[in-house]
A and B are shown apart, each in its own frame.
Chain A
C-alpha cells in the first residue's frame, strides 16, 4: 500500500526469516552429530563418549576451545536423554525419575582382613568338630507342646522350677535357687570375658600386660617387682597408704612421663602461641612505671610545699610562724600519676616531645626517637 506498508511487509519478512534462522540454529545446537552413540547411565548421570578424540589431537598445545566444545556437546546429549525420562511434579518442581544405576562403582574401603579364629573355632578345627544341625523346636513334656530350644518360653526352663531337690552331698541349709542363679551369672560373665578376649585378639589390641601376675615358680626379679608394684597400687586409695618394708626403697620412674611437643611441630602454630604469650606478657606489664610515677609525683609535691613554705615564711614573718602542710605524703594513689602518664600512650619516654625535638630531614621522625 503505502511505503510504510511496504516497509512493514519487509520487516515482517525479515522477522520471519530471522525466526526461521533462529529455529535452525537452536535445532543445530540441540542436535549433536556423533559418529558413535554415547553410552548413558542415567542412574549415575553418566555419559560415556567412545568417539576417538581427533579434534583434540589436532588442537595443539592449548586445546581449551575444543575441550569446551566437546564438553558442551556431550552435556547437551546427556540433557536430551534426561528430558526423555518420565517426569512428575513434586512441590511445584518438575522432576525426572532416574532409573537404577547400571555402572558398578568400585569399593570405597579396602577388603576387610580375615578375622583370626576364636579359641573355640581353633579347637573345633583341631578336633574336627562340625556344627550339628539342630531342630528349631523341641517337644516340651511339661506343657505338652512344641517349644523353642532357647529364648522366650523355652522348652526346659531352669528358672521356672518351683522345686529343686537338695543333691546328696550338699548342705541342707543351702539355698539351691540362689546357687542356681549364681552359677548362671558366673557362666554369663565367663562367656562375656571370652568374647571380649576374642574381640581383642581380632583387633590386636593390647591386653593389660599380665606378665608377672600369675604366680608360677619361675618368675624373674623384675617380674616379681612389677607384680608387687601392681598389687600395691590396686587398693581403693591407689596405694597411697600402703606401708613399705623397713629397708624397701621407693620405686623409680613411677611418675607420669612428661610429654613434650614434637620437634618439628607445626611451625605456624608454635609461632602463634609464642606471639600470644608475648601479647599476654605485654598486657600484664604495667604500662606506667609505678616507681617513676610516684617519684615524680612526690618531687612535684615537694616543690609545691617548698614554694608554699617560702610564701608562708614571708607571711609568717609578719603573722607568726605557721607550720606548712605536713611532711611527705606516703602512698600516693597511683591513679593520679596514671592519668598523667596514660595520656602519653604508655611510653615511658616523656623526654623529647612527640612532635618537637629533632626534625632533621624526614628521616628522624617516627621510630628513632630513642637516640
Chain B
C-alpha cells in the first residue's frame, strides 16, 4: 500500500474529471474528514484517514481492500474507473442522463439505449461526454460515455 505518485495522480484525476469536472476538488478536500487515495496491488482506494490508520496494521499480502475502490491501473498505467466509485462521483456529476424504466432493465443487462428510452438529459452534454446514468427514481446506475444520437455505451467501458 502506498500513496500515488504525481504521474499516477494526474492520470487518475484526468479520468475522473471527465465525469465530475471541477467538483473533483470537493472529493480531494472534504469538509467532513480527511480522505486520501492509496494504491494497493494496482487498485486505487479512496479511504478516510481513520480507516487508513487501521488498515496499516494489516500486512500487504493479507490486505484485500480498504475504503472504496475507485478503479485500477492497468499494466500500461492507464486508469480504469470502477462502478464502485459511483457513490462518490454521482453527487458531483456534471452531466446526467435519465432513462425510462422500460429501457432501464435492458440497459443494465448491457444493451444499448435508444433515444426513445431517454427520459431527461442535462443540457449541453456534448458528444462523447462522460455521464452518469440515472434511473427515473434518481438512482445512479452507471458511468458511461455518451454518443449523440443512439446512446451507445461504447466498447470503452470505463
A371 near B10 with CB under 8 A, answer no
| Bound-state Cα–Cα, A203 to B10, Å | 44
| Bound-state Cα–Cα, A263 to B56, Å | 8
B-contact 0/1 string along A253-267, CB 8 Å cutoff: 000000011111101
Select which of B1, B5, B14, B122 is within 8 A of A371 by beta carbon.
B122
A292 near B126 with CB under 8 A, answer yes
Minimum C-beta distance from B38 to chain A (A): 7
A-chain residues with CB within 8 Å of residue B34 when the two chains form the complex: 267, 271
Minimum C-beta distance from A262 to chain B (A): 8
Q: Which of B21-29, B68-76, B82-90, B141-149 contacts A (4 or more CB under 8 A)?
A: B21-29
Judge if B6 is at the interface, Cβ distance under 8 Å: yes
A-chain residues with CB within 8 Å of residue B10 when the two chains form the complex: 277, 281
For A, the interface residue count at a CB cutoff of 8 angstroms equals: 25
A275 near B29 with CB under 8 A, answer yes
Judge if A186 is at the interface, Cβ distance under 8 Å: no
A-contact 0/1 string along B4-40, CB 8 Å cutoff: 0110011001100100001011001100001010100
* Number of A-B residue pairs with CB-CB distance less than 8 Å in the complex they form: 63
Judge if A54 is at the interface, Cβ distance under 8 Å: no
A277 near B5 with CB under 8 A, answer no
Taking CB atoms and an 8 Å cut-off, the chain B residues in 92-109 that contact chain A are 94-96
Q: Using A274-B9, A277-B9 as known contacts, say yes or no to A267 and B49 having CB atoms under 8 A apart.
A: yes
Q: Using A263-B2, A348-B124 as known contacts, say yes or no to A278 and B56 having CB atoms under 8 A apart.
A: no
Minimum C-beta distance from A370 to chain B (A): 5
| Bound-state Cα–Cα, A274 to B3, Å | 12
B3 near A260 with CB under 8 A, answer yes
What residue in chain B is nearest A259 (Cβ atoms)? B5
Minimum C-beta distance from A290 to chain B (A): 12
| Bound-state Cα–Cα, A277 to B96, Å | 26
Q: Which of A32-40, A77-85, A100-108, A349-357 contacts B (4 or more CB under 8 A)?
A: A349-357
Judge if B136 is at the interface, Cβ distance under 8 Å: no
Judge if B53 is at the interface, Cβ distance under 8 Å: yes
A-chain residues with CB within 8 Å of residue B49 when the two chains form the complex: 267
Select which of A260, A267, A351 is within 8 A of B124 by beta carbon.
A351
Judge if B156 is at the interface, Cβ distance under 8 Å: no
Minimum C-beta distance from A147 to chain B (A): 69
B-chain residues with CB within 8 Å of residue A277 when the two chains form the complex: 6, 9-10, 13
**What are 11 A-B pairs at a CB distance below 8 A?**
A261-B2, A264-B56, A267-B34, A270-B3, A270-B36, A278-B22, A281-B10, A289-B126, A349-B123, A352-B123, A370-B95
Chain A contacts to B: CB under 8 angstroms: 260-265, 267, 270-271, 273-275, 277-278, 281-282, 289, 292, 348-352, 370-371
Q: Considering the complex of A and B, which 7 residue pairs feature the smallest CB-CB distances, nearest first?
A: A351-B123, A261-B3, A260-B2, A274-B28, A349-B124, A267-B34, A370-B122
